[in-house]
Copies of this chain bind each other. A is one copy, B any other.
Amino acid sequence: MSRPRGSDRRDGIIRAAFDVLAERGYRGTSLAAVAERVGLTQQGLMHYFPTKENLLAAVLETRDQWDLLNFTRSKDPSAIGATELAELVDYNATRPGIVRTYTVLSADSVTEDHPAREYFHDRYARVRQLVAQMLERYADDLPAGLTPAQIAPIAVAVLDGLQLQWLLDPDEVDMPQDFRNFLALLGIKT
């Protein structure tokens, strides 16, 4: 019966915290609840993450791997296009937990004194820039004379807004299809 090694344990805690965060939001998440989920006491958890804020930061850093930014990190932003973006939405539609965490936390972060506020502020700036770069390849054919930089915030809004509606009513809202419809609106075929 070997004890998990330090970094494995950390991973487990982060994974559990990610889930609990999705279920209860930041203020609704207790360290004890996260600890219980990995079979530790709250104090055992605090051996790894001395404060709640610290744990949140670790979650945000680590779990970035799942999202748009890291989806594209390895690649050249301008090398990926709408097809890949639509596929990311397909993928997200199979992972409600991940979507929920980011939806809940990002809205949570506009709250007063929220520790993740700066994180999301910066993150959205980066995502808008990334999407703008991606749209460059369609720049000449964009409708209404709009530029990639003008469309980027709208596209990001569609991504986020559809997630919220989908989380609230997965049977009624077909997120992947709706996103493809949006791309069609841009005159982009997938």
Contact = CB atoms under 8 A, between A and B. Distances in A.
- When all copies of this chain in the complex are counted, the total is 2
Contact of A108 (B25, B124, B173, B185): B25
Chain A interface mostly helix, strand, loop or mixed? helix
Given A27-B24, A111-B104, A158 B154 contact: yes
A73 B167 CA distance: 26
Contacts of A153: 162, 165, 173, 178
Interface stretch (A6-14, A34-42, A75-83, A142-150): A142-150
Interface residues of A, number: 50
Contact of A154 (B100, B162, B169): B162
Contacts of A49: none
Interface string A102-116: 011011111110000
A23 interface: yes
Given A144-B185, A157-B160, A158-B154, A169 B107 contact: no
Given A28-B111, A100-B110, A112-B24, A160 B154 contact: no
B144 A184 contact: yes
Interface string A168-190: 11001100001001101111000
Top 10 closest A-B pairs, CB basis? Answer: A157-B161, A107-B107, A161-B161, A144-B184, A27-B28, A160-B161, A110-B167, A23-B112, A157-B162, A27-B27
